[in-house]
Structure 1
Amino acid sequence: MNDLVARGQYHFTSKDLRDALGVSNVATRQALSRLAAKGEVASPARGFYVFVPPEYRRIGCLPADQFIPALMAERGTPYYVGLLSAAQYHGAAHHRPQEFQVVLAGNRPPIVCGSVRVTFVARKRMADVAVDRLNNEHGTILVSSVEATALDLVGYMHRSGGVDRVAGMLAELSEDLDPQKLCDASESASILWSQRLGYLLDFVGAGDKAALLKDHVQRNAKNYTKLLPYVNGSVVQRSKDWRLYANATIEVEA
């Protein structure tokens, strides 16, 4: 096992350990139990283990960003880091999420490993979402582009802390938004997401980044939609530009 760590490999399967030790399945399970009891290994998923260096023993696991790429590769599952976790990568630093959010093509139960929690969001047309490959402590990780992150935050507002928090993050992210890339990103989602995103960008003073998106909405949005689709609050404002009923008062989180 020390050889694996020396090579920078902090994750392994039970088969990897059995082959490395040259022992039986029973002996492998016993070895894993001893290591887990000492806090030296943890298991974020069935049959998948991570070494836990001393600096992470207090949380009982590796941080999620250090094992998710390996776990997804081992399971052959396309993924990207999204929503609040992606926003943090792109500079919305003070909105620190309580869980690590990963987007997949389908549903998957959350992972709890020590005090580390990973939740999964199922997204249609996930393969069409633009991602950035970013460096981390043990390799690289796929994170939605800043434009795709902005779109997903609005599309999954209920998973992103609500409209006030999303508006605050959009204000932080807006400086890095590219208008053309934002318009391109909108092609991977419902036009309703673009209507809500454009309205919120206008609201936080970043309407210049949404000019091309506005053209896209005005060409393709056939109906008005609500800012908060599942809320029956009274309409505060009607936006002709975005064909949207603002049915909530927004207080941007700073």
Structure 2
Amino acid sequence: MAFKVNQRLDSWVNEQLAQGRFGFALDSLREALPAQTEIARKFALKRLSDKGEILSIYKGYYIILPPQYAEKGVLPPPLFLDAFMKAIRRPYYVSLLNAAAYHGASHQQPQEYLITTTFPVMRPISKKGLKLNFISIKTIPEELLEKRKTESGYINISSPGLTAADLVQYEKRIGGLNRAVAVLEELQETLTPADFNALLVQHAHVTALQRLGYLLEFICHNQELSDSLYKNMQSCNLEFFRIPLKTSAPVKGFSSENRWKVIVNTTIELEE
């Protein structure tokens, strides 16, 4: 009996791979093999896990490890991310350094895969060599996302403009402002004035946009991009307040004599 249960599960998992699926939800397995008891299913899943053919990454969700990835014991996130996020009913987009790499700014190698999703907050996922970390926001700006093709389908990534704004907004998540600027230096080769449109300006935090504008103008020396951002912020009637370039540093005695009203309280050192 156990052999038949294992054989049925093996066949079903192989069918998923044959159809380009690299993961599955436990609910899908229950629907596909309704005759299996919970105990039999549990032992069959454990057997495949012990063999390194599947890996549980989240309660009720497994990724499938084909032979070419079995030795590492983990899959590249683009192969399963979209299906996983749909299975747990979470809108999302790949963000920060991972999104920047898709846009050609790949010099900075991320140590984790960063994903933006909605509340409630999701805990990080760390399994063997897999590290997924999550940023939670109120609403995912679907109009500011792009789809990129993968071996298993598509994934959502932030547009170049949203990526730039996120890099500044969440600079502490990637190692600080200097690293954010290093990525911006590369990303500006992809950015166009049209990326700083009303949709982006209305979604992103005003303070992040002020700091981004300052960095584009005075550190990246890209007048065209900074002018476009400034113009659209003015068109949307956004109010500028004096804000520090480095949020954790003192501001007393530092100048904010620039159109962005950014208090220049740190020196940006570009990474080589």
- Scaled to the shorter chain, the TM-score interval is over 0.9
Aligned length: 254
Partner Cα separation in structure 2 for residue 141 and residue 111 of structure 1: 18
TM-score computed with the length of structure 2 as normaliser: 0.87
Partner Cα separation in structure 2 for residue 18 and residue 244 of structure 1: 56
Q: Does the 8 Å CA contact 2:21/2:80 hold for their aligned counterparts? A: no
Question: Which is greater in Rg?
Answer: 2
Output aligned runs, 1:184-199, within 5 Å. 184=198, 185-199=200-214
| Structure 1 residues 29 and 211, CA gap change in structure 2 (3 angstroms) | same
How much has 1:217 moved relative to structure 2?
Answer: 4.5
- Give the gaps of 5 or more residues in structure 1: none
SS in 1 for 2:197: helix
Question: AA paired with 1:196?
Answer: R
Partner of 1:220: 238
SS in 2 for 1:49: strand
SS in 2 for 1:73: helix
Q: Does the 8 Å CA contact 1:234/1:248 hold for their aligned counterparts? A: no
Partner of 1:230: 248
Matched, 1:204 2:220: yes
Output aligned runs, 1:1-254, within 5 Å. 1-21=13-33, 22-106=35-119, 107-127=121-141, 130-184=144-198, 185-202=200-217, 203-217=219-233, 220-232=238-250, 238-254=256-272
Q: Does the 8 Å CA contact 1:236/1:249 hold for their aligned counterparts? A: no
Partner Cα separation in structure 2 for residue 182 and residue 136 of structure 1: 27
Partner Cα separation in structure 2 for residue 243 and residue 127 of structure 1: 27
Q: Does the 8 Å CA contact 1:238/1:245 hold for their aligned counterparts? A: yes
Partner Cα separation in structure 1 for residue 84 and residue 42 of structure 2: 20
TM-score computed with the length of structure 1 as normaliser: 0.92
| Structure 1 residues 127 and 214, CA gap change in structure 2 (3 angstroms) | closer
Partner Cα separation in structure 2 for residue 163 and residue 92 of structure 1: 16
Question: AA paired with 2:188?
Answer: S
Deviations 1:142-174 (A, max 9, x none): 000011000011111111221111111111011
Partner Cα separation in structure 2 for residue 155 and residue 69 of structure 1: 24
| Structure 1 residues 48 and 240, CA gap change in structure 2 (3 angstroms) | same
| Structure 1 residues 99 and 89, CA gap change in structure 2 (3 angstroms) | same
Task: Write out the 4+ residue segments of structure 1 that deviate beyond 6 Å after TM superposition.
Answer: none
Partner Cα separation in structure 2 for residue 44 and residue 81 of structure 1: 18
SS in 1 for 2:157: strand
Q: Percent identity?
A: 34
- Give the gaps of 5 or more residues in structure 2: 1-12
| Structure 1 residues 126 and 15, CA gap change in structure 2 (3 angstroms) | closer
